[in-house]
A = this chain, B = another copy of it.
Amino acid sequence: MKNIVILGATGSIGTNTLDIIQRFPDQFQILGLTAKSSDEKLESLIKAFRPKVVALQDEVAAMALAQRLSKTKVEVLSGENGILAVAQLSEADLVISAIVGAAGLLPTLSAIRAKKTVAVANKEPLVMAGEIIKKEAAFNGVSILPIDSEHSAIFQVLNGERHQDIQRIILTASGGPLLRLSNDEKTQISPEVALAHPNWKMGPKISIDSATLMNKGLEIIEAKWLFDLPAGKIDVVIHPESIVHSMVEFIDRSVVAQLGLPDMRTPISYVLHYPERIPLSLPSLDLAEVGTLTFEKPDTKAFPLLTTAYAALEGGGSLPAVLNAANEEAVKAFLDKRIHFGTITKVIQQTLEAHRPNAIKTLDDVLEADRWARIEGKRWIKKDTNS
């Protein structure tokens, strides 16, 4: 019996993870769950999965939930410290890190420091602080398992292979809902249109990142740390059908790819049972039915953020953290309808231009870069709103 903790249990990854777990009651037990503020959604999960401890970031929501659960044995924690406590529960075997954005950084690091195997679904912590996370994981003898469909694909393919035999990895990108629009058409797009991903049902942040291709930009940085590869060995190809989840080319020109219908339950089940697989009664991929798979080079004029992300990856230091923070602020402003879609790119690029890159040696360096970039990003957002 494996004891599972889910950080960010009420989101898309959390829900899909619980869907798998309820199929195998003899193999997995939910030990802890966390959420930001959805106390009612968390309460229904508590009834279904009977965790020992839960935490809500929002103190008010936590108090309300604690009151409603006062006659049960479930412990309700609150705030940042509550989340960190759940991330470190001593009986946990596997921590699923699925808190959206930079907010996932400290909980992920806490789990690693508590010597837990961590499955990461949120790419932002690795983008911001990849070097620190990798060092901590090595120091604590902890494995980091990817859940993101692209990184799971590469992780599955690399199973049984030697690192030195990798020629390059090729991340596939659907191109998102705006793939065929001109830059002019995109500028005026509403959040509702940008949120409508053609293949994947995901949360709002990652859906907008897919529409700008920043999601792929974050993924190349994530891949650098997960697979210990330089930028020159990380390629991106547009594949609108989202059937090939990613590929590895080896030094003998053999390319191995992982494919499947777009369903996060397959990569989630892989980390739950790694290195073995569990049988899932999900629809089977029928390529004859799919018929056609297409591939094209990314249009870096239409999607300049991919180039921006490569530059941040190559520049290193504080640049990826700044890229990530500026992006988070810009996406939030776009979802709130404070800026146009086209302004997301401008905010990120202007913030990066204004930044003087620093080396990242400690967690504080990361948090400082993140803090600075949010202030700077907000300044550009405000400027744009006023203009």
* A46 is an interface residue with CB less than 8 A from chain B: no
Closest approach, in angstroms, between the C-beta of A337 and any C-beta of chain B?
A: 35
Contact of A167 among B162, B165, B252, B284 (CB under 8 A): B284
Q: A244 — which chain B residues lie within 8 A by C-beta?
A: 257
Is A225 interfacial (CB-CB < 8 Å)? no
Name which of A67-75, A86-94, A289-297, A328-336 contacts chain B: A289-297
Taking the closest CB of chain B, its distance from the CB of A172, in whole angstroms, is 9
Q: A294-B291, A295-B290 are in contact. Are A253 and B257 (CB under 8 A)?
A: no
**Range class of the A interface residue count:** 35 or more
Q: Is A159 an interface residue (CB 8 A)?
A: yes
For the complex, give the distance between the alpha carbons of A387 and B161 in Å: 58
Question: A239 vs B288: C-alpha distance in the bound complex, in angstroms?
Answer: 9
Within the complex, which residue of B255, B259, B295 is in contact with A255, where a contact is CB–CB below 8 Å? B259
Q: A292: which B residues are within 8 A, CB to CB?
A: 292-295
Instruction: Say if the beta carbon of A55 comes within 8 Å of chain B.
Output: no
Least CB separation from A256: chain B residue:
B258
Q: Could you tell me if A296 and B288 are in contact, using CB atoms closer than 8 angstroms?
A: yes
Q: Quick one: given A261-B253, A278-B251, are A291 and B296 in contact (CB under 8 Å)?
A: yes
Question: Interface readout for A268-293 with B: 1 if CB under 8 Å, 0 if not?
Answer: 01100001111110111101101111
Tell me, yes or no, whether A250 is within 8 Å of chain B by CB.
Answer: yes
Is A278 a contact of B252 with CB atoms below 8 Å? yes
